[in-house]
Structures are given as C-alpha cells and as structure tokens.
Copies of this chain bind each other. A is one copy, B any other.
Amino acid sequence: MSKRARPPIITLTTDFGLRDYFVGSIKGVILQALPKARLIDISHEIPRHDIISGAFVVNEVCRYFPSGTVHLAVVDPGVGTVRRKIVVSFQGQHFVAPDNGLLTYLVDKAESRVFEIRGNTLLKFEESPTFAGRDHFAPIAAALASGTDPAALGVEIEDAYKISGLAIEKKESKLGGKIVYFDHFGNAITNIKRADLPEKFEIVIAGETLTGLKQNYAEGDEAKVNLIINSSGYLEIFMPEKSVKERLNLELLDVVAVLNVIKSPND
C-alpha cells in the first residue's frame, strides 16, 4: 500500500483524564503540525502518576499497531523538573515519553534504541514548564510521524531510567512473579507467561493457594479466586463479577509465587 494510503498513526496514553482540555490541547498541537495524523486514544485514565500501569498499557497495545506508528505516553509526576525526554525506537515504531520508567518494557528490548531529546525547536508557541505533553511530546510525536529520524531530534543514550522490580525471580523449584497491572474489573495481571509455569503448579498470592487454569472467564468459580492465561498470554488472577484486587487487597508489584508441584514417584 502506498504511503499516501496509510496515514500516520499517533496513539495517546496519559493520566490526564477525559474531563479537561489537556488531551484536546495535545491533539490540536499535533494536528497543527501534521494535519493528516490519525489520533488513536489508548487510555487517558491511567491512574494518576502510576508509571507502572502506564508502562504496561503502552507495551501491551503497541504490538497490535502497524510499523510506523508513533506512541505518545505521558504519565509525568516530575513534569517541569530535570527528568529527560526520550524517544524509543523498536521494530519500526517510535515511543515518546518522559524518562521516568514509562517505557521500561521497550527500553528493555534487545533491539530497541533510545534517544534523549534536548531543546525544543519544534514548538511554535510559548511553552509552559508544567505541560510537556503539549509543548514537547506532542511536537516530537508529530515530527516522528512525519518521518523525521529520531537521531535528527536527539542523541542516543544507554542509560534510560527503568522501573525496578518488574523481573521474575527464579529460585530452584520456586518462581517469584509480580502483579504488574490491574484492569478496570479489578483482575490482577502478572508478568508470568504460560511457558514459565511447570506442568503441575501451585500459585501463592496474599496467603491464598490456587491451582488450575480456567479456559475462559465464564468458567470461573464465582465464590473463589481463579487463574487464567489472559488474552496477552499472562497469568491473570480473577473473580467473576468481582474485583480480586479489592477482595485480596492486592497492590502493584505484589509477589505471585509459583511452586513446582512434583509428585515423588514413591507417593
């Protein structure tokens, strides 16, 4: 398909909410710079200042978008302070965000490249120290979606900030996963993939021991906490029609232990 037929896509992920004029301002700035841009809202309801959840959302959604897509992500409690502005390039897509861990999953990819963007030669109106999403990230996203090489906008760096504690820890027959996201139903998504699970396993979370995988949500036992491999391939903990987050009082980065249950041949 010709370049003309495929308009440039810019996705937006923020914690700005949908009530105010903040997201609209960003969209206006992008459309001024790049009238053909296709603006796709991913979420503006990332919990306020929750970089861990924002990082998960951006990384999950990007795999469904075509090469060339630019992902603009702003969860930025340190706006106006000295944190850097970065672009990550990975598999033909670009990600624009503050350097505060929001792009941790992308920075961690072996093939990704990270650029620090300095200065702000792109903005055409007076900038404010408190709205980098509008004054910095939006013009950068428009420039990238127009085909500008990130290397032309900044310098490559190797030390982008990453959220710590997201990795799975392995110890003999035990695996220590983490809760990395709660969806709006209160389901708890872990960083444990199906391939991480031994043939027979027990999951221990918040004092509860769970076994067995449901094939779909309708199969879930309403009175119990259930396990499923979710649509992204991760182990997810859920209760039908209830919030498992509230029921077990869970928080992000809580440990989810996977125990390898091997029956001794003499049993």
Contact = CB atoms under 8 A, between A and B. Distances in A.
A130 B216 contact: yes
B24 A42 contact: yes
Among A57, A64, A78, A219, the one with the most B-chain Cβ atoms within 10 Å of its Cβ is: A64
Contacts of A249: none
Number of copies of this protein chain within its complex: 3
A215 B80 contact: yes
A230 B135 CA distance: 13
Given A20-B57, A28-B64, A218 B40 contact: no
A19 B35 contact: no
A109 to B, nearest CB: 18
A218 B79 contact: yes
Nearest to A181: B20
A18 interface: yes
A89 interface: no
21 contacts: A11-B24, A19-B184, A21-B43, A21-B56, A21-B60, A21-B61, A24-B42, A24-B64, A25-B61, A25-B64, A27-B64, A28-B69, A31-B66, A39-B40, A78-B218, A79-B216, A79-B217, A80-B219, A81-B218, A129-B216, A130-B216
